Amino acid sequence: MSDHFCDKCGEYLPEGSLKYSVQIQIISDFDGVIMCETDDPEMEAQEMLEAAEDMDEQELEDEVYQELSFVLCSRCRKRFSRDPFSHGARTYRTTKNFERMFH
Ligand SMILES: [Zn+2]
User: What pLDDT digit, counting tens, does each position of 4-22 carry?
Assistant: 999 999 999 999 999 999 9
pLDDT score recorded for residue 77 = 97
Ligand 1 is an ion; its neighbours by CB within 5 Å are: 6, 8-9, 11, 73, 76
Q: How confident is the model at residue 26 (pLDDT cuts 50, 70, 90)?
A: very high
| Mean of per-residue pLDDT scores for the chain | 85
Q: Cα of 58 to ligand 1 centre, how many Å? A: 29
Q: Cα of 93 to ligand 1 centre, how many Å? A: 22
Higher-confidence residue of 54 and 24: namely 24
How far lies 12's CA from each of 29, 40, 55, 61, 87, in Å? 37, 57, 38, 33, 27
